[in-house]
Structure 1
Amino acid sequence: MPSIQNNPNLLVQYLQKPASHFTKEDLIRYIEEREIEMLNFRYVAEDGKLKTINFMVTTREELDMVLSSGERVDGSSIFSFLEVNTSDLYIVPRYKTAFLNPFSKIPSVDVLCSFYNAQGEPLESSPENILKKAQKQFFKETNMKLKMMGELEFYIFGDSEIEVEGAADGYHCAEPFTMYEELRTEAIKLIAQCGGMVRFGHAENGRFTYDGKHYEQHEIEFAPVDPEDASDQLVVAKWILRMLGLKYKVNVTFIPKISLSQPGSGMHVHFLAEQADKNMLVENGEITPTSLKMIAGVLDLAPALSAFANTTPVSYLRSMPGQKAPYRICWGKQNRSTLIRVPLGWNSATAFGADLNQQEQTNVDYTFRQTIEYRGSDGSANPYLFSAALIIGFMKGLSDTEAIKKTDDYFCSENLFLKEDQQPEGDHQFSRLPNSCHEAAEVLENYRHYFEADQIFPKSIINHTILKLRSFNDKELSENFKTYGENQDLKELIKEYLHYM
């Protein structure tokens, strides 16, 4: 973590303490001393997008009151599963999430909120509380703490009179061979200022010109942090990117598939487990039994995870055969064609920089950097709910005496993307994920007892998720995908979901 002095979060710099230590009194002091005129409560609604209530800062007493007790809102307008006759909720600020709004012309502090019910208890069915419950149960069962982080892929596109020269493959492309590097780097800076632990950003593979518009795919990757913080920074990052789209007069979209001839956009999630600050996924250069058990548990539940990871019909365009996105239920080491990948890690004590530059070498343990990656999720996922569902998979694997044996059956060392072109659908060793929202709903119905265990996911949320997935009526759609090509039906489908998530 950056030092307090160099931390890009402006509140951390001013208050001289980590965001996790922010108090109500800290926020009041910052607002008064920096002459902040407005306080904005932010919360994530059912659609996964940030909503806002604006408070004009008038008196210290009023500010103290709203930071202490929150505000009353209409829950039925936030979550469709809440009844109108009992819909009142409180939204209560989480002080650690406060940041200086980088876009507001009026000096404003924004803070993310959680939901409380009429009895003054955390709302059982709110996404951030479901994730809290999952984390709490995981620690209770394992005495380990989790860290997670996301890789957020997205397309930027706008009108273009300039031909961008260079290779069609845009991976890590740099100016002058990319048009939107400035937007991406500004996004990285602003996300960090708003508390996001950004590691890096880069151009991704997708780039093309179509119908007078230039499309480029980019990615921003975060550092592993507490799962709730990881989810917070993803929703804030998506808001910042959309706001920058307005500034630059371009479109930013997290749609999983924008063209069948171009790479889709995922939202890969990495995880690790720690005990006494030690990464439990790796030891002596090898992944541990803990790693294998967690992998097996997630793969066991993978068909049902689609209900949280891939929540729109267009999600399943990305995971069609031939689209170079993993959909076979298997895992591999450094294998990008598998659903779960164990990335290349820093298991060697060699300091590469010292070796390359012929300088004195010091032994440093970088195993804390080793993560495991789930590659099947996309930008339609609510990160709180999907993270909670992953944690349930971890717990399933860690409690399964057959889990390590299962990983042998799930292991894949082949390039499945290449193999897909060579084998008929029924000849594959590994089963596949659902191919539509309808199928994901059916699987979730069969697996729901795993998610409802320990009252982590309320029955009402599972019911609502199933009904929502079925409402897309895409049972036959997956078969039509194969004949779409780039015809008008596909264009209309993509247009419908371009800014859905």
Structure 2
Amino acid sequence: MSAIQINPNLLVQYLQKSANEFTREDIIRYIEERDIEMLNFRYVAEDGKLKTINFMVRGRDELEMVLSAGERVDGSCIFSFLEPNASDLFLVPRYKTAFQNPFSSIPSVDILCSFYDANGLPLESSPEYVLQKAQNQFFKTTGMQLKMMAELEYYVISDVPEDLKVSKNGYQCAEPFTIHEGLRVEAIRLIAQCGGLIRFGHAESGRFVLKGKIYEQHELEFSPSDPENSADQLVIAKWILRMLGQKYNVNVTFIPKITLGQPGSGLHFHFLAEQNGSNMLVENGELTSTSLKMIAGILDLSPALTAFANTTPISYLRLMTGEQTPNHICWGKCNRSTLVRVPLGWNQHLDLGATANNQEPQKVDHSFRQTIEYRGSDGGANPYLFSAALIVAFLKGFSNTESLKNSDRYFTENNEFQQEGVEDGEQFDILPMSCYESAEKLEEFRHFFEQDQIFPKSIVNHTILRLRSFNDKELISNFKTYGDESKEMDELIEEYLHYM
């Protein structure tokens, strides 16, 4: 049986070709032969959520027109940094992203779109185009293909069941000791049907009762893919989870922090670099100079990365010291306390399946699975802009002749974050602790993001202004005074529960 035949994407199954090969004629054929009644153009706006334009299917001629020429939209209502007197944009579909909408009351095909200006050129400040520019620059600089993937954490908030059977630690609990496994499993199936390269999901550690509601944490993990595809999958997955929350009459939230002393929700990004089909992060079971340069670049720019990774005041409650979230600027191997982590890999050519089943082991090579993980970001991150910002950091690592030395400076083998060669008590720096401080760091490092015309000045300026507008410079100290059961905390949670 071929990979196409078992692919869960409904359009891939029907058209018998990979999504990357979809053409305009393929989309039209699927719509005609499957009796699809509506075509929905989807796009991600400034707030990171999916927006929609609905087209009633009225005939082939109109389908050909809208699929080839797109539709006109008011860009000033989509991006606040565009002036109303020059904001008309073309919204143009990307065929490879087409999927059948699993929630629509009538048969519908949805498709993600990109923005083009009046001259027919990609909109320089469009998030997906910023990511494309970063990705192209990475290949131009290194000759390597970059892959990324996300781990998406979220909470399901519901009434407390009368016959509650839960464990205090929810990590990978199964029914009947978890409540919302059914929602998670349905999400996995629907994300896959919509084209998401989803690997697995499980219950996460967070499990607590607060003010008459139970909060249960879950996680979904994707497979490495082209960065743009990875970002596309992530926004669709978040939309599907929210729609399922509506279906199950529960709240699904990606808010970074709900209360002190309980796990927050992150959005961890993994990456790897390939050349001629080989993973360039490892060689003979050891990290390569490529790995170390990329790690050093991230950590060098990490204070400014928070401007794209942690975009709301409540993001910084998750990053508070003592909240079991990495906030020290350092990296380690298999160490979940570090900002950048090299996860346990399959680099020893072990045939563990044979060993576990008392069979003769064979030499196997799973080094292609080795990734490196950035653990500081959360659900408020726009996946296109943050992925682009990470790539900017990689490029800095490759351009800095001191990168390999810097990687040693940031390395820790323990949880104490003590630097080698420094006086006792001197520790690694920590990330910014407010949107305001992140804005200051982005201003300081902005030239790296604007280099090679990856981030337009308008995006950087707007990001700085928006972060400063939260006026949260004293939030952490005020929060310590108010406490996590205060009216102020309740208002903060309510404001950002569905912000991202």
Q: Under a length normalisation based on structure 2, what TM-score does the superposition of the two structures give?
A: 0.97
Among 456, 464, 467, the alignment partner of 2:465 is: 467
The Cα offsets for residues 125-149 of structure 1, whole Å up to 9 and x where unpaired, read as 0000000000011100110010000
CA contact (8 A) 1:204 1:219 kept: yes
Supply the distance in 1 between the matched residues of 2:243 and 2:256 (Cα, whole angstroms): 20
How many pairs are equivalent?
Answer: 494
Any stretches of 5+ residues in structure 2 without a counterpart? 419-423
Q: Match of 1:271? A: 271
In the alignment, is residue 494 of structure 1 matched against residue 493 of structure 2?
A: yes
Supply the distance in 2 between the matched residues of 1:158 and 1:448 (Cα, whole angstroms): 42
Q: Match of 2:449? A: 451
Q: Match of 1:423? A: none
Match of 2:494, as an amino acid? K
Supply the distance in 2 between the matched residues of 1:428 and 1:54 (Cα, whole angstroms): 58
Q: Match of 1:433? A: 431
Deviation for aligned residue 1:88: 0.4
Q: Match of 1:369? A: 369
Match of 1:474, as an amino acid? D
Alignment of 1:123-202 (within 5 A): 123-202=123-202
Supply the distance in 2 between the matched residues of 1:55 and 1:196 (Cα, whole angstroms): 24
Greater CA deviation, 340-349 or 355-364? 355-364
Match of 1:192, as an amino acid? A
Deviation for aligned residue 1:401: 1.2
Match of 1:496, as an amino acid? E
In the alignment, is residue 379 of structure 1 matched against residue 379 of structure 2?
A: yes
Q: Match of 1:224? A: 224
Match of 1:115, as an amino acid? F
Supply the distance in 2 between the matched residues of 1:75 and 1:394 (Cα, whole angstroms): 31
The Cα offsets for residues 340-395 of structure 1, whole Å up to 9 and x where unpaired, read as 00000000211101111012333221000000000000000000000000001101
Supply the distance in 2 between the matched residues of 1:438 and 1:38 (Cα, whole angstroms): 44
CA contact (8 A) 1:11 1:30 kept: yes
Q: Match of 2:293? A: 293
Supply the distance in 1 between the matched residues of 2:144 and 2:396 (Cα, whole angstroms): 15
In the alignment, is residue 9 of structure 1 matched against residue 9 of structure 2?
A: yes
Deviation for aligned residue 1:59: 1.0
Supply the distance in 1 between the matched residues of 2:337 and 2:19 (Cα, whole angstroms): 38
Match of 2:165, as an amino acid? E
Q: Match of 1:107? A: 107
In the alignment, is residue 345 of structure 1 matched against residue 345 of structure 2?
A: yes
Supply the distance in 1 between the matched residues of 2:2 and 2:285 (Cα, whole angstroms): 27
SS of equivalent to 1:380: coil
Q: Percent identity?
A: 70
Alignment of 1:213-362 (within 5 A): 213-362=213-362
The Cα offsets for residues 274-293 of structure 1, whole Å up to 9 and x where unpaired, read as 00010000000001011000
Supply the distance in 2 between the matched residues of 1:319 and 1:173 (Cα, whole angstroms): 26
SS of equivalent to 2:3: coil
Deviation for aligned residue 1:165: 2.4
The Cα offsets for residues 452-486 of structure 1, whole Å up to 9 and x where unpaired, read as 00100000100000000001010111221222232
CA RMSD in angstroms comes to 1.3
SS of equivalent to 2:6: coil
CA contact (8 A) 2:20 2:96 kept: yes
The Cα offsets for residues 54-101 of structure 1, whole Å up to 9 and x where unpaired, read as 000001000000000100001011011111111100110000000000
Supply the distance in 2 between the matched residues of 1:11 and 1:361 (Cα, whole angstroms): 39
Q: Which runs of 4+ in 1 moved over 6 A?
A: none
CA contact (8 A) 1:256 1:265 kept: yes
Deviation for aligned residue 1:6: 0.4
Match of 1:183, as an amino acid? L
Match of 2:492, as an amino acid? L
The Cα offsets for residues 287-320 of structure 1, whole Å up to 9 and x where unpaired, read as 1011000000110000000000000000000000
Deviation for aligned residue 1:163: 4.2
Q: Match of 1:69? A: 69
Supply the distance in 2 between the matched residues of 1:78 and 1:337 (Cα, whole angstroms): 38
Match of 2:435, as an amino acid? C
Q: Under a length normalisation based on structure 1, what TM-score does the superposition of the two structures give?
A: 0.97
Supply the distance in 2 between the matched residues of 1:59 and 1:293 (Cα, whole angstroms): 54
CA contact (8 A) 2:266 2:375 kept: yes
Match of 1:197, as an amino acid? L
Supply the distance in 2 between the matched residues of 1:491 and 1:385 (Cα, whole angstroms): 30
Supply the distance in 2 between the matched residues of 1:40 and 1:309 (Cα, whole angstroms): 29
Match of 1:111, as an amino acid? I
Supply the distance in 2 between the matched residues of 1:215 and 1:428 (Cα, whole angstroms): 38
Alignment of 1:74-89 (within 5 A): 74-89=74-89
Note closer, same or farther for the CA distance 1:2–1:321 as it changes in structure 2 (3 Å cut). Answer: farther
SS of equivalent to 2:229: helix
Match of 1:172, as an amino acid? Q
Supply the distance in 1 between the matched residues of 2:184 and 2:224 (Cα, whole angstroms): 20
CA contact (8 A) 1:268 1:374 kept: yes
Q: Match of 2:421? A: none
Supply the distance in 2 between the matched residues of 1:8 and 1:214 (Cα, whole angstroms): 33
The Cα offsets for residues 166-191 of structure 1, whole Å up to 9 and x where unpaired, read as 42110001100011000000000000
Match of 2:436, as an amino acid? H
Q: Match of 2:93? A: 93
Match of 1:490, as an amino acid? M
SS of equivalent to 1:392: helix
Any stretches of 5+ residues in structure 1 without a counterpart? 421-425
CA contact (8 A) 2:74 2:87 kept: yes
In the alignment, is residue 29 of structure 1 matched against residue 46 of structure 2?
A: no
Match of 1:384, as an amino acid? Y
Deviation for aligned residue 1:2: 7.6
SS of equivalent to 1:332: strand
Deviation for aligned residue 1:160: 2.5
Note closer, same or farther for the CA distance 1:197–1:2 as it changes in structure 2 (3 Å cut). Answer: farther
SS of equivalent to 1:4: helix
Supply the distance in 2 between the matched residues of 1:428 and 1:240 (Cα, whole angstroms): 46
Q: Match of 2:410? A: 410
Note closer, same or farther for the CA distance 1:163–1:315 as it changes in structure 2 (3 Å cut). Answer: farther
SS of equivalent to 2:5: coil
Match of 1:130, as an amino acid? V
CA contact (8 A) 2:259 2:484 kept: no
Supply the distance in 1 between the matched residues of 2:409 and 2:288 (Cα, whole angstroms): 17
Deviation for aligned residue 1:211: 1.9
Deviation for aligned residue 1:210: 1.8
SS of equivalent to 1:5: helix
Alignment of 1:28-67 (within 5 A): 28-67=28-67
Supply the distance in 2 between the matched residues of 1:428 and 1:79 (Cα, whole angstroms): 43
CA contact (8 A) 1:260 1:486 kept: no
